[in-house]
Structure 1
Amino acid sequence: MLDAIMNFFNSVDDVMYYPILIIVLAAAGLLFTFRTRFVQIRLFGTACKLIMEKPSGEQKVSSFQALMVSTASRVGTGNIVGVATAITIGGPGACFWMWLMCIIGASSAFIESTLAQIFKRKNPDGSCYGGPAYYIERIAKKGILSGVFCVFLIATYAFGFNLLCSYNLQSSFEIYDFYDKTWTPVIIGAIIALLVGFCLFGGGKRIIGITEKLVPFMGIGYVLVSLIVIFTHIGNIPQTFSSIFSDAFNFKAIFGGLSGSCLVYGIKRGLYSNEAGVGSAPNASASADVTHPVKQGLVQTVSVYIDTMLLCTATALMCLSSGVKYSPELNGATYVQNAVSTIFGDFGPIFITIAMVMFAFTTLIGNLYYVDNALIYLNKKRMPSKVFMRIFYAFCVLIVFVGALIPMNFAWTMADITMGGMTLINIPVCAALSGIAVKALRDFESQRKKRLNPHFRATDIGLKESEVSFWK
């Protein structure tokens, strides 16, 4: 019975990513790239400068703060386990396809975040909120499609991603002698679930505060450790890049078994890691206080680069240059731990486990930020009752526990399917509305040519004031 269920979901996953999502992501990314004249590359310097622009009020969310929220949701176990899994199953060529989808996908991140800014809403205190559900309403005004998107978002961030995050965390303990396949996942799952439940039910603000402060340092530490491993094996780097490119363009291997090829795994794990075009980051982007929507659209492209070009690449090069042989039998976390241990010995696996614990915990809590927004939208844009939220949070805690017990393939498959459902709604809507974002970009660049600090007015790009809520 379980095998039949797994086969069904695997079939759905395979068809969803090939050919549907591969075509949709590539076509949309190229469309956005050409329509914006390679904005993700052309204005990268401007995007970096805009990160530090301050909001108009002390209590308002800055571009930098919104960037950190979306980056925090992107940076997680996917940067470690996701990349390693892509290599061990799909081959080193998956790295190339991750890089390519990152560059193309950054244009999708620009479009979705710019649209989220244009169609955001205003709170009574002057702050703002929004996301894909609100710009989807412009396409389907009755709100049915927006509601379906919110359901997929909840399924992704409360179910799929948290199942996977919990699995990834417990898998980092497999390398230790004390690990028992029967009991260790149960114990680790119970501990994670109790900690998450403690935080969700109001008692964990101190824990959240500590982890949020430690995670940036852990991220920097992870990059430094990766660089040490890479430079220690610097002689292997030419061979590493050679294997990446030769495998990426080994078309016989790609098309011979496409669902398990480097191309598909590169796209799957790249999308899971940087979330460009998925429709998650716009929820954070809409909260930023900026004078022009394009400013936040540009800032969000930087988040995609940080995630994939910096952190994912650090993992890939560290693993491939270490000399540790990759194979489908080598679990993602174990592959990374073995690579680090070539230089750091017994401390290497411990460091990766600590990093996984930090990344996973903040991801588990952070994922529910997006879920709260979706629940509010579905509840006629009001916060659901306390009783409902308690029941919902109890379900989320159960999901975290179950995630530590399920097989690796099931965890990845469910996350891929729910994330794919979000993407298949968000990307076509972004394509349909991309003309508005492009007009906003032209308006932004026109004002910059006049040496002005760009300020946005809806009427300047052909929108009526009645069509927007915030930009009156």
Structure 2
Amino acid sequence: MEAALRLVIDPLNHLLWSHVLIYALLGVGLVMTLGTGAVQLRGLGHSLDALRRDGGSSGITPLQAFATGLASRVGTGNIAGVATAIALGGPGAIFWMWLTCLLGMASAFTESTLAQIYKQRHPDGSFRGGPAYYIQHGLGSRRWGMAFALALIVAFGLVFNAVQANSIVDVLHGAYGWDKAGIGVALVVLSALSIFGGLRRIGRIAQWLVPIMALGYLLVAVYALVVNIERVPGVFALIFSSAFGLQEAASGLMGYGVAQALQLGVKRGLFSNEAGMGSAPNAAATATVQHPVSQGLLQMVGVFVDTIVICTATALIILLSDQFVPGGALKGAALTQAAVQSHIGSAGQAFMALAVFFFAYTSIIGNYAYAEGNVEFLRRSKPLVMVFRVLVLCMVMFGALASVPLVWDMADVAMGVMALINLVAIFRLRPMAFAAWADYRRQVAAGSAEPVFRAGVLPDQGRSTATQGVWRP
């Protein structure tokens, strides 16, 4: 069975990740950067104001939507993904992760702004939205909206949650020898408490867990940086020289070295920060805000925090240690764990167990939040949602007990399909996001403390298809 699946999955992965997606992600990111006048730079100040605003009694607050998006972004990819990129692509992969992030911030702004423009009110008073919704209502294609929703449900709702559970079990079993089945049952119970509590409870949990989780991890990186401060310039020089194959040039392997660094950096950068993939807009759409741009700005900052801050922290922890050996046996989370232990001693084992647990657990609840909205997009049915919740819990248990190299590859295909559909959609709908950004800046320039959006500022197509019940024309 696995051999048959490999015949389909491996060629698709090679096509998507070795060729198409690298150019699509960087190209669309560049278009969005130019079209918004570098919103990555011009919008950072506005994003702090947006973070402080209250969402009101309906839906969830902007802060909770931001934290839910960050909860899904910040996961084992920040630990295992960065280490894998360095081990297989060399230190230069980090440079390409940075570039993917900086261009991807504009894509993240665009997709989350569109998610707000085309969001819909749920019967319980909260909001739902995301690429499936803006593809259907903005581009008039229910079929492609359903295709995106299915890809997201498979990747985030089922497969990724198995992967996250597997990561938690591996680190706890390896550190303490705990029974895998027992850990799996505990994860199922914890996940059920969040999942059956609804999106508002997920938002509240993510709002508190994500900052605590990230801060502890960053403190380890700061300690490693301070203790090894004299080596820091050399580490950054190594990253830049490896990114362009300068070290490999003498041996005639320059093209291969650059290709490996580029591919691994872009691929793991996307897996970590999800910019342009179409996942975070599902969280952005749930916030109650006065203007769509405010969530676009916040989710854009989430990409920055994930990659420039947390992924860079992992890279420094690894490269400032003596654990990274080109072509060595250590890869993934094992490399990061060894590097942490080299910096803080035996306490590193317990710390990494906690870090992986919090990173992965918040990803599980964030992933579920995304997937539930897309299940309801396919068909609004309480029994269907209940069945889906049970399937999610089953996949958590499956991930706890199984070795999942195949499901990682299946997830990569689903992610690739998601990203391609979403990138085409935001490219075609970019005039709506650009118009909303221009309207936001006009109101701020006129002295408005909290800009208020009206669908009438959109071009004709967007004015007629944006959700009129949410944004008054």
Provide the C-alpha distance between the structure 2 equivalents of 1:144 and 1:322, rounded to a whole number of angstroms.
50
Pairing of 1:132-211 with structure 2 (within 5 A): 132-138=131-137, 140-173=139-172, 176=175, 178=177, 188-189=183-184, 191-193=186-188, 195-196=190-191, 200=195
1:306 and 2:305 correspond: yes
Provide the C-alpha distance between the structure 1 equivalents of 2:122 and 2:5, rounded to a whole number of angstroms.
45
Shift of residue 311, structure 1, vs aligned partner: 0.8
Pairing of 1:73-472 with structure 2 (within 5 A): 73-123=72-122, 127-138=126-137, 140-173=139-172, 176=175, 178=177, 188-189=183-184, 191-193=186-188, 195-196=190-191, 200=195, 213-250=208-245, 253=253, 255-256=255-256, 261-326=260-325, 327=327, 329-379=329-379, 382-385=380-383, 388-407=384-403, 409-453=405-449, 454-463=451-460, 466-469=464-467, 470-472=470-472
Please tell me the residue identity of whatever aligns with 1:66: A
Provide the C-alpha distance between the structure 2 equivalents of 1:321 and 1:40, rounded to a whole number of angstroms.
29
Indicate how the Cα distance of structure 1 residues 435 and 465 shifts in structure 2: closer, same or farther if over 3 A, else same. Answer: closer
Moved more, 206-215 or 390-399: 206-215
Equivalent residue number for residue 11 of structure 2: 11
Provide the C-alpha distance between the structure 2 equivalents of 1:210 and 1:435, rounded to a whole number of angstroms.
35
Shift of residue 303, structure 1, vs aligned partner: 0.8
Shift of residue 87, structure 1, vs aligned partner: 1.2
CA RMSD of aligned residues (A): 2.9
Shift of residue 350, structure 1, vs aligned partner: 1.1
Please tell me the residue identity of whatever aligns with 1:231: V
Please tell me the residue identity of whatever aligns with 1:166: A
Provide the C-alpha distance between the structure 2 equivalents of 1:19 and 1:405, rounded to a whole number of angstroms.
34
Deviations 1:7-40, CA, capped at 9 Å, x for gaps? 6423321211121101110110011011111111
Identity rate, percent: 39
Indicate how the Cα distance of structure 1 residues 154 and 77 shifts in structure 2: closer, same or farther if over 3 A, else same. Answer: same
Provide the C-alpha distance between the structure 1 equivalents of 2:23 and 2:186, rounded to a whole number of angstroms.
41
Shift of residue 112, structure 1, vs aligned partner: 0.5
Q: Contact 2:243/2:258 (CA < 8 Å) preserved in 1?
A: no
Moved more, 137-146 or 225-234: 137-146
Deviations 1:184-228, CA, capped at 9 Å, x for gaps? 65664455345535665679x999987874553232111111211
Indicate how the Cα distance of structure 1 residues 246 and 16 shifts in structure 2: closer, same or farther if over 3 A, else same. Answer: same
User: SS at 2:211's partner residue?
Assistant: helix
Q: Contact 2:64/2:207 (CA < 8 Å) preserved in 1?
A: no
Shift of residue 63, structure 1, vs aligned partner: 2.0
Q: Contact 1:230/1:322 (CA < 8 Å) preserved in 2?
A: no
Indicate how the Cα distance of structure 1 residues 325 and 125 shifts in structure 2: closer, same or farther if over 3 A, else same. Answer: closer
Indicate how the Cα distance of structure 1 residues 284 and 208 shifts in structure 2: closer, same or farther if over 3 A, else same. Answer: closer
Provide the C-alpha distance between the structure 2 equivalents of 1:63 and 1:24, rounded to a whole number of angstroms.
29
Moved more, 419-428 or 361-370: 361-370
Q: Any gaps of 5 or more consecutive residues in structure 2?
A: none
Q: Contact 2:68/2:207 (CA < 8 Å) preserved in 1?
A: no
Shift of residue 99, structure 1, vs aligned partner: 0.5
Shift of residue 313, structure 1, vs aligned partner: 0.7
Q: Contact 2:162/2:398 (CA < 8 Å) preserved in 1?
A: yes
Provide the C-alpha distance between the structure 2 equivalents of 1:444 and 1:198, rounded to a whole number of angstroms.
39
Q: Contact 1:81/1:168 (CA < 8 Å) preserved in 2?
A: no
Q: Contact 2:47/2:294 (CA < 8 Å) preserved in 1?
A: yes
Moved more, 421-430 or 43-52: 43-52
Shift of residue 246, structure 1, vs aligned partner: 1.5
Shift of residue 306, structure 1, vs aligned partner: 0.9
Indicate how the Cα distance of structure 1 residues 390 and 376 shifts in structure 2: closer, same or farther if over 3 A, else same. Answer: closer
Indicate how the Cα distance of structure 1 residues 116 and 236 shifts in structure 2: closer, same or farther if over 3 A, else same. Answer: same
Shift of residue 328, structure 1, vs aligned partner: 5.5
Indicate how the Cα distance of structure 1 residues 115 and 59 shifts in structure 2: closer, same or farther if over 3 A, else same. Answer: closer
Deviations 1:126-145, CA, capped at 9 Å, x for gaps? 64332111110145425111
Provide the C-alpha distance between the structure 2 equivalents of 1:450 and 1:200, rounded to a whole number of angstroms.
43
Please tell me the residue identity of whatever aligns with 1:364: I
Deviations 1:262-291, CA, capped at 9 Å, x for gaps? 211111111111111111111111122222
Shift of residue 411, structure 1, vs aligned partner: 4.3
Indicate how the Cα distance of structure 1 residues 295 and 239 shifts in structure 2: closer, same or farther if over 3 A, else same. Answer: same
Q: Contact 1:47/1:299 (CA < 8 Å) preserved in 2?
A: yes
Aligned pair count?
461
User: SS at 1:324's partner residue?
Assistant: coil
Give the TM-score taking structure 2 as reference length. 0.89
Q: Any gaps of 5 or more consecutive residues in structure 1?
A: none
Pairing of 1:54-65 with structure 2 (within 5 A): 54-55=54-55, 57-65=56-64
Indicate how the Cα distance of structure 1 residues 336 and 432 shifts in structure 2: closer, same or farther if over 3 A, else same. Answer: same
Indicate how the Cα distance of structure 1 residues 10 and 240 shifts in structure 2: closer, same or farther if over 3 A, else same. Answer: farther
User: SS at 1:172's partner residue?
Assistant: helix
Provide the C-alpha distance between the structure 2 equivalents of 1:96 and 1:150, rounded to a whole number of angstroms.
32
Q: Contact 1:130/1:286 (CA < 8 Å) preserved in 2?
A: yes
Provide the C-alpha distance between the structure 2 equivalents of 1:210 and 1:428, rounded to a whole number of angstroms.
33
Indicate how the Cα distance of structure 1 residues 230 and 199 shifts in structure 2: closer, same or farther if over 3 A, else same. Answer: same
Indicate how the Cα distance of structure 1 residues 248 and 411 shifts in structure 2: closer, same or farther if over 3 A, else same. Answer: farther
Q: Contact 1:458/1:471 (CA < 8 Å) preserved in 2?
A: yes
Shift of residue 304, structure 1, vs aligned partner: 0.7
Moved more, 425-434 or 262-271: 262-271
